[in-house]
Amino acid sequence: MRRSTKLELAYVALAAADTALAGSGRPWAHRARHVTKPLLLPALGSALATDARAQGSPLRTTTLLAQAGGWGGDVLLLGSGERAFAAGATSFGLGHLAYLTGFRRHRDRRTPMAGSRAARVVALLWAASGPVVAARAARQDRRLGGVVLSYSALLATTAAAATHLDPALPRDARLLTAAGGLTFLASDAVLGARTFLLPDAPARLESVVMATYTAAQLLLAEGAARAGR
């Protein structure tokens, strides 16, 4: 078995463990997540970095940079309170800028993204939900509202760009990347709702956030690896 495959399997095992712990709501489970959660993206990033398929991938470097931003977000969001949330969102935002850079460099240049049905759907979903969540966040802290609005707009743009890659890239790479971008958007929507719209949400909702988030990162990494073929 290749080293990259072993590392990817380790990521899947860590993701499953952290997803289960996230929904527990018990104090010991939160402490255990200080071990599992920070290991997620180093494992996935190491898998991508050592994957022979990815050596010629045009999305390899930006994906690794995005994973570094995601790792910072993972660690910062283990804290509590508005400051930890804002810092985590900022780190994730840097990660999404890296993803977006790669997607824009290798976009479908034959048609504008505004003409894409998937991009229009993403834009409509953001317009219907992003400002609402940001307004609720601003009730807790005015500065937090701006962070949430900016981050959600950036994530929506990244998700739309993930669906608009150059047709010259392998089809499976494009499909996996699009699925990863949209799954990331779904994960963030659940996170925003749990944090700002549903203050008394059950703990198991955090498992939904982590299940979709870890799946999104895996799909994006696989898309980047397969883009090198």
* Dist. CA 212–CA 38, nearest whole Å: 17
Residue 165 β-bridge partners: 107
pLDDT at 175 (0 to 100): 97
Distance, CA of 196 to CA of 76 (rounded, Å): 18
Cα four-point dihedral sign 204, 206, 209, 210: negative
What are the tens digits of pLDDT across the range 48-64? Answer: 999 999 989 999 999 99
Residue 229: per-residue pLDDT: 67
Q: How far apart are CA 166 and CA 15, in angstroms?
A: 30
Residues 6+ apart with CB under 8 A from 169: 58, 106, 227
pLDDT score, position 16: 97
pLDDT the model gives residue 113: 85
Domain boundaries, the chain: 3-226
